[in-house]
Structure formats: C-alpha cells, structure tokens
Copies of this chain bind each other. A is one copy, B any other.
Amino acid sequence: MKQLPGLSDIRAAAERISPYVHRTPILTCRGIDGIVDAHLYFKCENFQKVGAFKFRGATNAVFSLSAAEISRGVATHSSGNHAAALALAARNRGAKAYVVMPRTSPQVKKDAVAGYGAEIIYCEPTLQSRESTLAEIVEKTGATFIHPYNDERIIAGAGTAGLELIEEIPDLDIVMTPVGGGGLLSGTSISVKELSPQTLVIAAEPEGADDAYRSLKEGRIIPSVNPKTIADGLLTSLGDKTFAIIRNRVDRIVKVSDNAIIAAMRLIWERMKILVEPSAAVTLGALLEKRFDHAEKRIGIIVSGGNVDLNHLPWL
C-alpha cells in the first residue's frame, strides 16, 4: 500500500484542481441555528460541478496521472456521483472515461454520465458482474481504475473542501460529514486535525447502513451487508485506506434515523432554498435527533451533494 495522504497531499490537490472546480460558498441560516441551538456553517458542495464533492477527488485523480497513463483513459464502476464526476474530469483532460453501470440503473443517471461524454459499459446488477466487467475493460483498454473512495488521490481531493472550510471559518468546535465509503470523511479529517487539532470531527451515518459506526467501535472493517436507507449515497463499506485514516483521526460516528434524514433534508430546502440530496442531510439529521451534545457549538457541515430525482421526493 502506498503511504496514506497527509496535509501536503491535500494542499497539492487543491492547487492541482483549482482551475477546474468551484470554490463553493459557505452558507449560514439563522432559522436552522435557532432550531438546533448551534451555529452552523454549511460548506455547499451541492453547488460543486456535477452537484457533488466527488468532483474534487475525481479531478485530482485524473490530473495526477502521467501523460502515458491518461492516454489510455480511466475506468470505474459506479452508478452515482463518482461516475459523473470521473466522466467530467476525464473530459476536462481530453481523456476517455469508461464507466461500468448496472443495466438496471435509473435512466437519469445513465443520461448524466453519458452527457459528460463517458462510455458506459453495462453489467448485471451483481457485485460479481460489476467487478468482472470492470476487469475486462481495464485489461482490454489499459485504462487506470479509479476507485470511488479507497484511493489516496480521491481522499486528498475530497479533503480540499474541508481545507477551504477551515481556512474560511476559524475556531470551529466541530466539523461534520456524512460517511459511506469514507472518502469525504477521511479527507476532511486530515485537513481538520492538521490545521485545527482542537476541532472535533464527527461523522453521521444512517442507522440502516451503520457499518462505519460498527467498524470504528470494533477496530476493524465491518462490511455493509444489506444496507437500507433513503441516503443512497451512503450504502458502501469503508475501504482499508479510508478506515486507516478514520480510526486515527475521527472522534465519533453517530447514527441517524431515516425519518430525521428526511426531516433535515426538507428543512434545508425550505429554510435555505437549496437542494441537497438525502445523503447530504444526515449531518443535520444527527443534530435534529440530538445524537451528541452540540448546544451553542460552532459546527462546520460539509454538504456533500445535491443530486436528487425531482420526481421522487422522500417526503411525498
């Protein structure tokens, strides 16, 4: 295993990706502050390109590759934000992206990835088919596989959002992210703990997909088995790289009910007039459910993304 990324890798990533990514705004909302009795600073990666923080890591990975490597393209398996992010990042470098997706993926996701110019290779909706199809593509094309989160370059890129947050808002008591595979959480924890060691890093995870909570508790990776939650970006298990960082740098993982996730999502839409996806509302959900003592604290929240199917809102 290569060395785990550190602050210098995140700074290098920030420099590398700056021509391509948005420096997203940090918003506040007095109404929500009043409801949860805290001072919240929302770092809005829902306004990032492709609508999610994932574009930071994908861009860092794509622009880290050598000319020889990138000439053969990049490949991944994902039906979510990482696929769209990798597709656009590759296009920005004039490179080819191969995305393995289950045939059964929603048309809107297929369209998004295809719209960014990626070649979609369909597989059956099983882990085995997905992995064998990807292996075949990599074998045939020589493309570099970019894992959605268990990758040093992805982690370093994801950490740039937290870097911007810490640089702009000093003296945060707590920084929160959601946790799925752990790319955002691990990258954020590096930025926060290096630049502001006294700040707590607390992740929020859906109750129905609480593998990271259990992994941190037991000190080993507990895979996510049959996860069930409205937060469909958080179904994945931790990887060895993200877990190694998280176990050293994250103070706490709290569990959140789907009801609280939906209530938090709706509250953000209504009060802040911004679209966030369910996975991005888990953090505020934890505050609504008072999952830890946060009274009057200054809390930075990384809002992970805003890609929502507007035909299927969870409260309808």
* Contact status of A270 and B313, CB under 8 A, knowing A25-B25, A275-B275: no
B-chain residues with CB within 8 Å of residue A275 when the two chains form the complex: 269, 273-275
Assembly CA distance A311 to B313 (angstroms): 9
A110 interface residue, CB < 8 Å from B? Answer: no
Main DSSP-derived SS at the A contact region: loop
Report Cα–Cα, A191/B311, bound state, in Å.
39
CA distance A291 to B249 in the complex (A): 56
Q: Is A54 an interface residue (CB 8 A)?
A: no
**Docked pose: A306 CA to B51 CA in angstroms:** 20
Which residues of A are in contact with B by a Cβ distance under 8 Å?
Answer: 25, 46-47, 51, 266, 269-270, 273-276, 306, 310-311, 313, 315-316
> What 9 A-B pairs have minimum CB-CB distances, sorted nearest first?
A273-B306, A273-B275, A46-B273, A274-B274, A47-B273, A273-B274, A269-B275, A51-B273, A269-B310
**Sample (21) of A-B pairs whose CB atoms are under 8 Å apart:** A25-B25, A46-B273, A47-B273, A51-B273, A266-B310, A269-B275, A269-B310, A270-B310, A273-B274, A273-B275, A273-B276, A273-B306, A274-B274, A274-B275, A275-B275, A310-B313, A310-B315, A311-B315, A311-B316, A313-B313, A316-B316
